[in-house]
Amino acid sequence: MTKENKPLEAVEIIKAESNYLRGTIANGLQQQITGSLALDDTQLTKFHGIYQQNDRDSLVERRKLKLEPLYSFMIRARVAGGICTPKQWLVMDGLADKYANASIRLTTRQAFQLHGVLKKNLKSTIANINQSLLDTIAACGDVNRNVMCTPNPETSQAHQSVYEVAQRISEHLTPNTTAYHEIWLDKKKLASDSDHEPIYGASYLPRKFKIVLAIPPSNDVDIFAHDLGFIAIIEDGKLTGFNITVGGGMGCTHGDGKTFPLLSQVIGFCQTDQVCEVSEQVVKIQRDFGDRSNRKHARFKYTIDDRGIDWFKDELQKRLGWNLKPEKPYEFTTRGDQFGWSKNHDGSLNLTLFIENGRISDNKAIKLKSAIKTIALLNLGEIRLTANQNIILAKLNTQDKRAVEEILSANNIVHPQSQLIDNAMACVALPTCPLAMAEAERYLPQLLNKIESIQLKYGIENRPIVTRMTGCPNGCARPFLAEIGFVGKASGRYNFYLGGSFHGDRLNQLYRENINEESILEELDILLKDYSLSSTEDEFFGDFVIRKNYVNTVTHGSQVHPINLNVS
């Protein structure tokens, strides 16, 4: 039972009785009569970076043949701060070919995903990832997940310092259990090994927890969308500390007015050497006060929203034993990735490449996976994953530039694309995500081409609009922060949202509910025509639709769906 004597969610019982995330996973891996794991174990494997999925495209045919669903697994590898070496990239590339579906997915949290891994190949895949000095532990599950950080080294000379802070947070908040190493790496448990979890406890957190670090003026990590954020304060070229943000989160549930996305709030400033202590105590507050009776209400954003920001600040400072300092001035002027070549403060070069919805694969026309593999084989600089599903080939020298350009050209890779496409994102959705209600990754490119035709008709194709689509309201591609957002409701039908801020500091609002492509394009024709005729020169589309009263300004997440305007 919870502190309020409400029944615990079933997942809470599974975690508590799991022997620190072991469950019966090891035994289930040996059972080759089925491609799946036990239902309870599929909750625990998330903590190990693994989701059980099935090919929903083949469900009907397999039922006719009286076969079980075509089960496979998604494996997510953590990349703290988004920086990996060419050698690590080559490991993921090889595993994609050998064990997965010959593609790599870059997530909106700067992580790698492999899809289509069969149960019999799970241990080999994870062992190879681990040997590359990456891992999958805590990439999913009710713990702190991959710590994100602005990956652009040209942002400031202080980038390396901020990146190192991200790494320290990630290491500090990694679960203490040795279950991962025992199950996946065949390490024997020693008498000295402790299963005590000093930060998480035996039941871990009520829900997932996400931490990001941003370096103004770039908000390329969407800092206000996350549970805990640190905004780097740079003075005289040096990192002096961070403003702290708390209480953001994107997910909600269709038709449930008690669930909604929320933006985080700035609560003060801390010094660089205090960041891990702040992170730990914030996580512990969520551990102790988060809702364990209702997973739809279990995210940290509700813990703060229910009790108020002043309560949270008092509780945090009581646990810290010292007071946060007042927040320091900062400004975000950019949000997305800046494509093409750029120069770092040390004179080295970067190339930011657009990756359509984060999918690294080859097709008949464009050999994207092959091109990046060829570049990685040259062992040049670093490869950085952005929070917008793109990559940066970083720290190259002038001699490298020609070689990289030749490889990209030979594989038909053009960069950048267009203002609309470069500012768009989609989640994986169908056919593998079990939560998906509609297409996203496979469908958004087609829809964008049709939207771009409308822009061309009205002469506004050079004006950027942040557009995002997800197959369900969990919000993995952060659609509620888009100027144009689409959230899957059913096959071929979407909720249509307008009015997010171009800089990521305002939620959007539902404009039309449960509409198909024809209706989407009809509505956008009206909106974009008006935008072309009535907007000011530098007015962003999200600001325009609010000024023209198509939607209202959202000041609290409960206003995202207008029926829920009862904000106290």
Catalytic residue numbers read 76, 145, 208, 210, 427, 433, 472, 476
Is the link from the previous residue into 479 a cis peptide, with omega within 30 of 0? no
In whole angstroms, give the CA distance from residue 96 to residue 131.
Answer: 16
| 334 SS3 class | strand
Report DSSP letters for 449-461, one per residue.
HHHHHHHHHTT-T
Residue-by-residue DSSP string for 200-255:
T-TT--SS-B-EEEEBTTB-TT-GGGSSEEEEEEEETTEEEEEEEEE--B----TT
Phi, psi of 512 (to 5 degrees): -140, 140
Reduce the DSSP state of residue 292 to 3 states and report it. coil
- DSSP code of residue 494: E
Amino acid identity at 193: D
Where do runs of H (alpha helix) occur along 426-549? 444-457, 517-534, 541-547
Residues 501-523 as b or e (16 or more Cβ within 10 Å = b): bbbbbbbbbbbebebeeeebeeb
Residue 515: in which H helix or E strand, if any?
Answer: strand 509-515
For residue 337, the 8-state DSSP code is -
* Parallel/antiparallel/unpaired status of strands 467-470 and 484-490: parallel
Reduced to 3 states (helix: H, G, I; strand: E, B; else coil), residue 268 is strand
Question: Please, where are the H alpha helices in 257-395?
Answer: 275-289, 300-307, 309-320, 368-377
- Token representation of residue 389: 């599903």
Which residue type does 257 have? G
- Are the beta carbons of 135 and 78 closer than 8 angstroms? yes
Measured between alpha carbons, how far is residue 467 from residues 44, 282, 498, 522 in Å?
34, 32, 10, 17
